[in-house]
Structure 1
Amino acid sequence: MNYQVFDSSADVVAALAESLKEYSQQGRPVHISLSGGSTPSQLFSFLASSDYATSIDWSNLHFWWGDERCVAPEDEQSNYGQAKALLFDHIQIPAENIHRIRGEDFAAMEAIRFAEEMREVIPAENDVPAFDWILLGMGTDGHTASLFPGQTDYETTEIAAIAAHPESRQIRVTKTAHLIQNAKRITYLVLGASKAPVLKEIAEQATAAKAYPAAHVKANAGITEWYLDSEAAKELA
């Protein structure tokens, strides 16, 4: 594992914000995939309330999502809704730079539309859209995006798919492993003691990749890295 251990979530957020600033200064469209969860929400709030709100050139950054629950954007469970309320409503970013998954639409049709939009907008490598940076979380069951243990198709060549949460059966639209693995950079954000046992397995057991999508999904030719806080990393050697 290529991992960096930070003292706190605030230190993780600061590192992510600095990366965003660097990407925004490249003078070209940069395609970034966001995740939901507590760490991104901390990042969004930090960006909106700090100097980064004006020092980042938002016109160069295009934001997408790794997955989305099939709910309306106003719903509290919407990943896009979270980012809009905490960040996009507080910065100057062109509307066309925000590429949300339309969770309120029929999931099967939205997966097709979302895939078409990615193919139209994002430069391809190996005939697959190549994201500059994909941020991912990891659940205590080892899932990432909406790629769940035991129900992830690693062989598909589709780039968007429908998934159901294994417990709630809530329907989501998600990027596929095939698409994610074509990214130039993948950063897993894993915080908290509850994630420590799974991280230990991933670090020490080669068989973990078969059990945990987060262990299996890596950049084929780019960088895969793990940003951890001290609690999540406490069982790592």
Structure 2
Amino acid sequence: MTTDVETETSAHGARLVVVHPDAGVLAEAVASRLLTRILDIQSVRTPVHVVLTGGTVGIRSLAAVAAHPVRDAVDWTGVHFWWGDERFLPAGDPERNETQAREALLDHLPALPAQNVHVMAAPGEGVGSPEESAALYADELSRFTPDGATHLAFDVLLLGMGPDGHVASLFPGNAGLAAQGATTGVHDSPKPPPERVSLTFSAIQAAQEVWVVAAGAEKAPAVASALAGDPVETTPAAGAIGTRRTLWLVDLAASSTSS
């Protein structure tokens, strides 16, 4: 059974915590929710900008989108995909979020234009450091940012969360937490590989909707900490807030200390 744990409204918009019985149901529910949201937006405007995440449940959710009976109701020519972070590894590396997302979903969308998939540059693709890749991504984002706006207001920004409370590649105590601009290079990640590229809190918090997806008992303390509003220095997920709505989509195990 799926339950809504709490709804809270603040200056940052509404926050809703939705608890699903297990990780499998969670992934299917995220897929259905994402497709429905894209279709709702496309009924009034285009394009739609969606930020993808990696991680076990994140990729499982993308695979569920690919297999969903509603998938082909979406006009994929009007959807742009971005990433919240990327491992600074060679193109095609199986550990890259891009590689996993292509295998799970993007390669199954023949109508999706190649230019609608905005990847973070890998080593050897004209960049030699995470900072150079981050700068190129910031330039790409600026191409789609309306005049007068600081950041592109993503329609849906998906984020996984680690047991330490990190989101994207913003880790507790890491210098990237205080990065300015839309993107940042990340070094000394406590989770391999050490070099990464990430959106900043500034870019994340400009999204209309931020969805944090988490499953497993090992995530429960971080979920509780983030929902309690603990400092982002210790629990970065606490800073994952959308301007219109913030969704915490979790399984029962991950919610065990937050309800």
Question: Normalised by the size of structure 1, how large is the TM-score?
Answer: 0.90
Q: C-alpha distance in 1, partners of 2:68/2:177?
A: 40
Matched, 1:184 2:202: no
Task: Give the Cα–Cα distance (whole angstroms) in 2 for the partners of residues 149 and 125 of structure 1.
Answer: 32
> CA contact under 8 A between 2:210 and 2:240: conserved in structure 1?
no
Please say if 1:131 is aligned against 2:149: no
* Aligned counterpart, 1:99: 118
Partner of 1:64: 82
Task: State whether structure 2 residue 80 is matched by structure 1 residue 80.
Answer: no
Name which of 16, 23, 29 aligns with 1:2.
16
Show the 5 A alignment for 1:6-85: 6-7=20-21, 8-9=25-26, 10-85=28-103
Deviations 1:163-188 (A, max 9, x none): 12125452111111111111111111
CA distance in 1, matches of 2:177, 2:192: 23
Mapped partners of 2:70, 2:56: distance in 1: 19
TM normalised by structure 2 equals 0.83
Aligned length: 235
Q: Tell me the alpha carbon deviations over residues 204-227 of structure 1, each in whole angstroms, 9 at most, x when there is no partner.
A: 4x43444111112323x3322211
The percent of aligned pairs where both chains have the same amino acid is: 30
Contact 2:62–2:104, Cα closer than 8 Å, also in 1: yes
The one-letter amino acid paired with 2:248 is W
Partner amino acid for 2:152?
P
* 1:4–1:226 contact (8 Å) kept in structure 2: yes
Letter of the aligned partner of 1:178 in structure 2?
S
The alignment yields a C-alpha RMSD, in angstroms, of 2.0
Could you tell me which residue of structure 2 aligns to residue 173 of structure 1?
A: 197
**5+ unaligned residues in a row in structure 1: which ranges?**
none
1:108 is displaced (CA, Å) by 2.2
Deviation, 1:11, is 2.8
- Mean Cα displacement is larger for which, 110-119 or 150-159? 150-159
1:160 matched to 2:183? The reply is: yes
- Helix, strand or coil: the match of 1:162? strand
Aligned mates of 1:128, 1:211 — CA distance in 2? 25
Listed as ranges, the gaps of 5+ residues in structure 2 are 1-14
**Displacement of 1:39:** 1.9
1:114 matches 2:126: no
Cα separation, 2, equivalents of 1:74 and 1:153:
25
Contact 1:66 1:174 in 2 (8 A): yes
Check conservation: 2:87, 2:193, Cα contact below 8 A.
Answer: no
| 1:203-214 correspondence runs (5 A) | 203-204=227-228, 206-214=229-237
Contact 1:21 1:52 in 2 (8 A): no
